[in-house]
Amino acid sequence: MTNEDEVRWLDADQQDIWRSYLEGTARFVEALESIHAAELPLSLGEYGLLVKLSEQPDRTLRMSALADGLVVSRSRLSHTVARMEERGLVYRCAASGDRRGVNCRLTDAGYAALVDAAPGHVRAVRRLMVDVLEPEEFEVLGRVMAKVAAAGRAATEATGTPKGRTDC
């Protein structure tokens, strides 16, 4: 399984690309998170959570769906939502139908924070990514990362315990 003879190493060009990817993602999130921390009322993670909620019909989503959508563990989401609930950004209530379920709902204050943060967020995303690329480059990036997302999803479902799953 760890037999070295079978390994197809990356050639020099592939290594360069790989390192560009690693550095690019690292610098990008570093810059975006620091803009959120310095100028906006929500961290990048909180912003993403509120965006997801705001897109739902009743600004409401099941905890599990939210965790899957944000690609975080259920445990982490529980803790995060608990903190955001204390700040009045969201609140939890029982889900109808399945008595195990819990809904997470965006409050008016949460929506207001989202509206407040959105312009700065979009400006930052443009400055750090969208506007530094040619339109075609940006499009390819989207196609490419959709493929990568699918591969990751497949790998996570197939083998290891995804995130915070007790089953298997």
Partner DNA sequence: GTCGTGTAGTTGATGGCTCAACTACCTTCC
Partner DNA sequence: GGAAGGTAGTTGAGCCATCAACTACACGAC
Where along the sequence are the contacts to DNA (CB under 7 A)?
Answer: 37, 45, 62-65, 67, 72-83, 92, 95, 98-103, 163-164, 166-167
By a kind-dependent CB cut-off of 5 to 8 A, residue 147 interacts, out of its own copies, DNA, none, with its own copies
Cβ proximity to its own copies: between 95 and 118 the closer is: 118
Looking at the Cβ atoms of 4 and 98, the one nearer to its own copies is: 4
Residue 137 interacts with its own copies (CB under 8 A): yes or no: yes
∠ CA 80-83-86, nearest 5°, is 150
Nearer to DNA, 67 or 114 (CB): 67
- List all residues 6 or more positions away from 64 whose beta carbon is below 8 Å from its beta carbon: 74, 101
Name the binder of 150 from its own copies, DNA, none, CB < 5-8 A by kind. its own copies
Q: How far is Cα 40 from Cα 138, in angstroms, rounded to an integer?
A: 25
> Which of the stretches 11-19, 59-67, 76-84, 89-97 binds its own copies when contact is defined by CB under 8 A?
11-19
Q: Does 24 interact with its own copies (rule: CB under 8 A)?
A: yes
Look at residues 77, 19, 11 and name the one whose alpha carbon lies nearest to residue 46.
77
Question: Dmax over Cα atoms in the chain, in whole Å?
Answer: 59
- Report CA torsion sign: 89, 104, 76, 24: negative
The answer to whether 104 and 92 are in contact (CB under 8 A) is yes
- In this complex, which beta carbon is closest to its own copies, that of residue 93 or of residue 131? 131
Tallying the residues shown for the chain, one arrives at 168
Binding site partner of 96, from its own copies, DNA, none, Cβ cut-off 5-8 A by kind: none
Q: Are 101 and 94 in contact (CB under 8 A)?
A: yes
Whole-angstrom CA distances from 80 to 5, 72, 140 are: 45, 10, 33
In the complex, the residues that contact its own copies under the rule CB under 8 A are 2-4, 6-10, 13-14, 16-18, 20-28, 30-31, 34-35, 37-38, 48, 70-71, 116, 118-120, 122-123, 125-130, 132-133, 137-153, 155-156, 159-163
